[in-house]
Amino acid sequence: MCDILHDWGVEHAHRILARCVEAARPTGRVLVIEPAGGRRASTEMGLSMLMIYGSRERRIDEFRAIAAPHGLVLDTVTV
């Protein structure tokens, strides 16, 4: 999925990831293409996400945190 999770707060991001895992089981992968806070994601974009969607650009550790409960592991980060 591309530019999906940053539009949603934590609760909805968990729902999205849960459905992705359900669809990808048992041998699939979930590919997430998102800007990451602190890496090529601007402060302005983070503020826009907060104002428009009630969300924000997540940092790498936050992606790990929302992925882990779903059995997902952050494998690669590309800048």
- Its pTM stands at 0.77
Name the residue with tokens 């539009």.
Answer: 7
Token pair of 26 as six digits: 């048992």
d(Cα 7, Cα 55) in Å, to the nearest integer?
A: 6
pLDDT tens-digit readout, 36-56 = 776 655 566 667 767 776 666
What is the per-residue pLDDT for 41? 52
pLDDT mean across residues, the chain: 84
Domain boundaries, the chain: 5-70
